Amino acid sequence: SVPFSKGFMTKYNKGKNFFTFPRIRGNLNNNSNRALVHVTKRELIPYPKNRAIVSFSKFKVDHKLSLILLSCSYSTESSKVNPKLVIEFINRYDKDCFSIIIFKESRYKLGEGVSLNFKISVSSRSNEEEKLINNFPLIFDCGFVERKKKTISYSVKDLFSINEKIIPFFNNIVLCDEKLKAFKLWKEVAYLMSNKAHTNLSGLNKIKNIKLLMNNVKIKEGFSLELYGSNLSSTVGYSRYSYFERSSIRIPLNKRSIFIGIILSDATIQKQNEGGDARLQFKQTYKQFEYFYSVFFQLSHYCSRGPYLTKTTLHKKVHYGLGFTTRSLLCITELYNLFYFEGKKIVPKNLYDLLTWEALVHWISGDGTYSSGITLQTECFTIKELVFIINVLMIKFRLECNIHKQRNYSVIYINSKSLKNNLHYMLPYVHPTMLYKFKGSSFRQESKYTIIW
């Protein structure tokens, strides 16, 4: 069948819509459906009934008229095949005829998509079996038949046909034990997909669990699939780790962006001794303690104790703040090797791969100031490194940037127009108390808490 998707031709819109799909397969279930497709205008025109029908899936082009003849030779007469033969055939062949397919797709928000497929496939076939499979599009009123060398198969892939044709058919027949179990699970996924459950994380996890059950994988009670790194708990107060435990700890992708962002801004990494592992320290002033705690709660899995008070004297003025320090870990040492050379902070050569929108948000939250555009306080980096950073920001994030001079130091300025065009990528990661650094002082929020000195 011509796929039932936006803009595709069906038996309901023949002669009305544009022909947008160049490949035709299967059965339109519409006797003598014929149409002329205008090559240049891509428009369907009803074809006169006195013309002969050509075989399905073939196009006849009239170059003078710039028209394509599209026709179908299937009949809409109801199939005379005994349903019992169909049931017996399905129970006998292809135990995996009900399949759930989970695939990676960057277009989707979760990075994964779900599709259902009902497929009957046989490799060695008799004439009776071939005739029966050829009748499946009429029996089910949907789907298509494919032939590949010695294999013939019947498939239904679109969710509409599965819900309206396939599921009602099997609801009224008796399947063997294994197929009945698979069908019930498959039907449950079809229901979830109809309600868009596969577009959110909990629904996608539920579908993955159902797929495991279909494959006879036992799931423990209370077991659920979780995004790696989303369920890491705090280790504050835990005893000292062994060497093996320290070496086995890794930083998942959703935590790595936070580390990258704060290292580029206010965090520092130190090595206590030459052969040991490194640890990270992050400090913020009291005024930003809500943002500070939001970072700490996300990285507390790597800490042995909670935040502590800091005291800094600058220009004969005392400044109080908060800080936390991670454990000395191998994964922190790997970050040290990226961002430090001979004890001095540098810009890593693979910054293009490391920097994400979330990391950029944390960088701006720490070192950014807003005045029409955003100024990044990058005094600790060389001019060569600033040029490299600007190239990354312009190419990867399409942010227009310049180098400005500020108190004899070089800083990066992000243009206000390009900032507004890309702000929607950053806002999901911005802490509410840091919004003023992205949209101006009018968005500064008063703290909900009182600081007692």
Q: Which residues contact 183 (CB under 8 A, 6 or more apart)?
A: 98, 170, 175
Full-model pTM: 0.52
- Give phi and psi for 403, each to the nearest 5: -100, 125
pLDDT at 219 over 80: no
pLDDT by residue (tens digit) across 156-174?
888 998 888 888 888 877 7
Q: Which residue has the higher pLDDT, 413 or 319?
A: 413
11 vs 34: CA distance, rounded Å: 10
The per-residue pLDDT for 245 is: 86
Query: With contact defined as beta carbons under 8 Å apart, do 329 and 302 qualify?
Result: yes
The per-residue pLDDT for 129 is: 75
Q: What architecture does CATH give domain 243-443?
A: Roll (3.10)
392 vs 348: CA distance, rounded Å: 12
186 vs 188: CA distance, rounded Å: 5
Query: With contact defined as beta carbons under 8 Å apart, do 56 and 75 qualify?
Result: no
322 vs 285: CA distance, rounded Å: 6
pLDDT by residue (tens digit) across 261-296?
999 999 999 998 877 899 999 999 988 889 999 999
**Beta-bridge partner residues of 71:** 34
Q: Domain limits of the chain? A: 1-77, 83-214, 243-443
335 vs 343: CA distance, rounded Å: 13
Query: With contact defined as beta carbons under 8 Å apart, do 67 and 37 qualify?
Result: yes
pLDDT by residue (tens digit) across 396-446?
999 999 999 988 889 999 999 999 999 999 999 999 999 999 988 888 777
Q: How confident is the model at residue 450 (pLDDT cuts 50, 70, 90)?
A: low
pLDDT by residue (tens digit) across 353-402?
999 999 999 999 999 999 889 999 999 999 999 999 999 999 999 999 99
Report H helices in 70-222: 83-92, 127-140, 159-161, 167-171, 177-194, 201-214
Q: Which residues contact 308 (CB under 8 A, 6 or more apart)?
A: 322, 323, 324
99 vs 93: CA distance, rounded Å: 14
State the DSSP code for 287: G
CATH number of 83-214: 3.10.28.10
Q: How far is CA 200 from the centre of its chain?
A: 10
39 vs 139: CA distance, rounded Å: 34
Lowest mean pLDDT among 114-128, 176-190, 229-243, 281-295: 114-128
What residue type is 381 in one-letter code?
Answer: F
pLDDT at 109 over 60: yes
Q: Cα angle vertex 64, ends 59, 65, to 5°?
A: 70
Mean pLDDT over 40-47 rounds to 42
State the DSSP code for 190: H
55 vs 172: CA distance, rounded Å: 35
Q: Which residues contact 305 (CB under 8 A, 6 or more apart)?
A: 236, 237, 324, 325
Query: With contact defined as beta carbons under 8 Å apart, do 264 and 358 qualify?
Result: no
